[in-house]
């Protein structure tokens, strides 16, 4: 069936009618392409914008928040942290290597556009366990390593989740973190008519055309993707490194008034966003845009998503000084337009205006979906606990399962020590960086447990926020802010949109209860192939200030005789746990929503215990429950003290494999046990003695009401490596 021109660019009949009414005329094909790109789901957030207002942080809690390229919070007076998570899901399914690689490059430029030096990357990946998952995972990891290692930004942490719903819809979410002096505070708003617009970086080609409106803004009909491959961008990390240095050098001149990354929809989005945030217009001459391919049309130039490009706004008299700073790194800098007071995006070619659309219409004129009339909450919950006799092999099956086992085979492909800031890297609860610029450090984590959201999106999203914050505090850090990536299927499906709203409400309520602001993030819809949607999956990135970055709290203990305390309490529910998937019946029930007031109290107890120096080692309870927590602590312990004896109240299985949020194991010297317990008692937080670390390398012994069980170190290590 023949498609109309507006259908080709992704507009619906209602959207096209609204466009014609707003313009008062029929748009030409170039104008139609500009609007189609910026009214796509990926660029306009037309289905999510109203609902995302639930995430608005309290006044005064962030430096720059929702709507900017990245969120920014204060680290210490005079220094700030910029961070964001972004998705590259469909491109990574169509072409996993370049899709993942350019996802890394894109999020780096988002942070760079805030005037921050990119210093760390983290990734949240989700795959199926079938043939497609096994095909995609290694190529995605290679793409992340290719770009991150070469660009010189360390990949210091992340996670890999698994589930059948990700088999043909992998999730590739990448988080970048950067730091900047407060004096280098900048944004995208081009506020001064007459300023020149400089295009800095790579030449423009045809790669990536249609990437935003095609790959990230509609569902795939089937599992094939060869016809979509030209829409995936191609990255050059070596030029990306030069671009970082060139832009930082340009900013150091003090003469740049605005910065914007050329990401989705390329020059169209970049110019429109600069004008929108500045309350101005921009005139851009496509004939001035340096190209690497001949014969490109104005529409191709405007919509190309060629990588490693950024726009700078500069006063006319400062152009040469800024361009010289950029060119010192072998990077091109070309004046391609100027800021106007027209309020329009004007595209010129051959000396004439070939397209003109009001900026407000491009960026805010798309019809939007309203937020749900009722804000979702948690579902009613019924605990699920099996009664069959406990088999110690269950523990090894859980530890060996992809949900729980070591990710060393993945993260050892990443350079996580480049820039020499990394103190605690992949494998820790949170990465910890020591900073040369200030006397404090940064703790970083990313979490996206989709299976917790499969049946109750609100509960799972709230648990994800608690998990991220717990990862920071068990490392000894003070949480500063959150960023989120919300990944769902088609918003046109009422059930999917309801799940999306549940995710947003869960994140908002948990962030508010824990006192950690949401600074921004990303929404990725249409993650479905052949009508099969992913589990609704929130990816939560979190940053914290670390007072002692050279001495972070680690999972592994280094001495015998330490007392293990369980702070927080299990729920007695195995319905949504890794145990049920790995060693139970393979089913999945809804996860229980966290008691957010209790979670905030647990966070406070652990934070205060860390500040006081009472905690010698710590690890939160998450995938695989207490069993995996203890096994990971034991395997990370110093040889010669890899021995622990634990006494549990009740039968072994529910106590060992419950994944109730806001639980952690602290290793404490005997002299400090009373102080920790008193702090917990004052906060109304359960704090039970589990056992003690011992000498030798005997492994883990657990006593419970239904028996005494022993797991040798070698058996635990083999399972954790996946060698069983």
Catalytic residues: 42, 88
Helix axes 494-514, 596-611, angle to 10 degrees: 40
Do the Cβ atoms of 156 and 80 come closer than 8 Å?
no
Report the half-sphere exposure of 445 (CA within 13 A, side-chain side): 31
Cα(first)–Cα(last) distance of the chain, in Å?
54
Tell me how many helices (H) and strands (E) the chain has. 24, 27
**Which residues does 441 contact at the CB level (< 8 Å), separation at least 6?**
423, 432, 433, 434, 435, 545, 546, 547, 548, 549, 550, 552
Q: How many CB atoms lie within 10 A of CB 253?
A: 14
* CA 143 – CA 149 distance, rounded (Å): 10
Closest CA to 487 of 527, 533, 521: 527
Q: Strand, coil or helix: what is 156?
A: strand
Separation CA 255–CA 699 (nearest Å): 61
DSSP state of 254: T
Closest CA to 255 of 324, 203, 181: 324
Beta carbons within 8 Å of 97's beta carbon, 6+ residues apart: 139, 140, 142, 143, 146
CA 710 to chain centre: 38
Q: C-alpha angle 269/275/277, rounded to 5°?
A: 95
Neighbours of 586 (CB within 10 A): 8
CB burial class (10 A; 0-12, 13-18, 19+) of residue 574?
Answer: buried
CA dihedral sign of residues 286, 291, 294, 296 = negative
Q: Are 283 and 351 in contact (CB under 8 A)?
A: no
Q: Give CA 135 to chain center in angstroms.
A: 23
CA distance 623 to 179: 31
Cα 693 to chain centroid distance, Å, stands at 36
Nearest to 208 by CA among 37, 348, 441: 37
**Strands 117-127, 155-162: pairing kind:** parallel
Q: Are 543 and 83 in contact (CB under 8 A)?
A: yes
């Amino acid at each position: 069936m023949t498609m109309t021109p507006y259908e080709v660019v992704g507009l619906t009949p209602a959207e096209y009618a609204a466009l014609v009414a707003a313009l008062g005329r029929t748009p030409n094909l170039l104008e139609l392409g500009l609007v189609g790109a910026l009214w796509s789901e990926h660029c306009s957030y037309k289905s999510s914008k109203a609902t995302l207002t639930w995430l608005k942080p309290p006044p005064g809690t962030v430096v720059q928040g929702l709507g900017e390229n990245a969120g920014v919070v204060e680290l210490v007076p005079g220094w700030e942290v910029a961070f964001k998570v972004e998705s590259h899901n469909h491109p990574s399914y169509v072409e996993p290597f370049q899709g993942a690689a350019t996802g890394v490059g894109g999020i780096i430029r988002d942070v760079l556009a805030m005037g921050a030096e990119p210093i760390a990357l983290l990734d949240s990946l989700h795959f199926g366990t079938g043939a497609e998952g096994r095909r995609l995972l290694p190529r995605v990891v290679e793409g992340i390593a290719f770009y991150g290692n070469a660009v010189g930004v360390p990949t210091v942490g992340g996670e890999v989740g698994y589930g059948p719903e990700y088999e043909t819809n992998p999730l590739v979410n990448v988080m970048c973190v950067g730091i900047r002096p407060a004096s280098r505070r900048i944004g995208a708003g081009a506020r001064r008519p007459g300023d020149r617009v400089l295009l800095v970086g790579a030449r423009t080609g045809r790669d990536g055309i249609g990437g935003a409106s095609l790959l990230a803004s509609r569902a795939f009909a089937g599992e094939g993707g060869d016809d979509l491959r030209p829409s995936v961008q191609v990255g050059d990390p070596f030029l990306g490194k030069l671009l970082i240095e060139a832009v930082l050098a340009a900013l150091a001149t003090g003469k740049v008034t605005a910065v914007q990354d050329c990401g989705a929809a390329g020059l169209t989005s970049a110019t429109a966003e600069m004008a929108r945030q500045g309350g101005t217009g921009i005139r851009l001459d496509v004939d001035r845009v340096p190209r690497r391919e001949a014969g490109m049309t104005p529409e191709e130039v405007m919509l190309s998503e060629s990588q490693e490009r950024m726009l700078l706004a500069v006063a006319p008299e400062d152009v040469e000084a800024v361009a010289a700073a950029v060119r010192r790194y072998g990077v091109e800098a070309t004046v391609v337009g100027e800021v106007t007071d027209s309020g329009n995006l004007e595209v010129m070619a051959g000396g004439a205006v070939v397209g003109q659309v009001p900026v407000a219409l491009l960026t805010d004129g798309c019809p939007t979906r309203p937020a749900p009339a009722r804000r979702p909450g948690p579902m009613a919950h019924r605990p699920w606990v099996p009664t069959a006799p406990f088999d110690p092999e269950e523990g090894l099956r859980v530890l060996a399962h992809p949900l729980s086992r070591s990710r060393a085979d993945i993260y050892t492909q990443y350079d996580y020590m480049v820039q020499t800031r990394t103190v605690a890297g992949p494998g820790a609860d949170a990465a910890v960086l020591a900073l040369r610029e200030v006397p404090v450090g940064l703790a970083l984590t990313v979490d996206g447990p989709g299976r917790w959201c499969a049946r109750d999106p609100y509960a799972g999203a709230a648990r994800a926020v608690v998990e991220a914050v717990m990862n920071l505090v068990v490392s000894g850090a003070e949480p500063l802010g959150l960023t989120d990536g919300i990944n769902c299927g088609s918003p046109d499906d009422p059930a999917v949109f309801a799940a999306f709203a549940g995710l947003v409400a869960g994140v908002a309520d948990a962030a508010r209860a824990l006192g950690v602001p949401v600074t921004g993030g990303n929404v990725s819809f249409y993650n479905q192939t052949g009508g099969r949607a992913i589990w609704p999956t929130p990816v939560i990135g979190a940053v914290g200030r670390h007072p002692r970055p050279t001495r972070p709290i680690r999972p592994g203990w280094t001495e015998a005789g330490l007392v293990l305390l369980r702070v927080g309490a299990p729920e007695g529910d195995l319905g949504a746990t890794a145990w049920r998937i790995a060693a139970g019946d393979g089913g999945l029930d809804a996860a229980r929503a966290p008691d957010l007031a209790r979670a905030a109290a647990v966070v406070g107890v652990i934070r205060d215990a860390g500040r006081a120096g009472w905690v010698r080692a710590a690890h939160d309870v998450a995938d695989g429950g207490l069993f995996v927590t203890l096994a990971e602590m034991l395997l990370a312990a110093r040889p010669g003290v890899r021995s622990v004896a634990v006494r549990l109240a009740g039968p072994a299985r529910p106590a060992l494999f419950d994944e109730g949020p806001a639980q952690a194991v602290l290793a404490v010297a005997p002299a400090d046990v009373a102080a920790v317990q008193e702090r917990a008692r004052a906060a109304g937080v359960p704090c039970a003695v589990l056992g003690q670390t011992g000498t030798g390398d005997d492994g883990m012994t657990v006593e419970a009401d239904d028996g005494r069980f022993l797991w040798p170190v070698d058996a635990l290590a083999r399972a954790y490596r996946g060698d069983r």
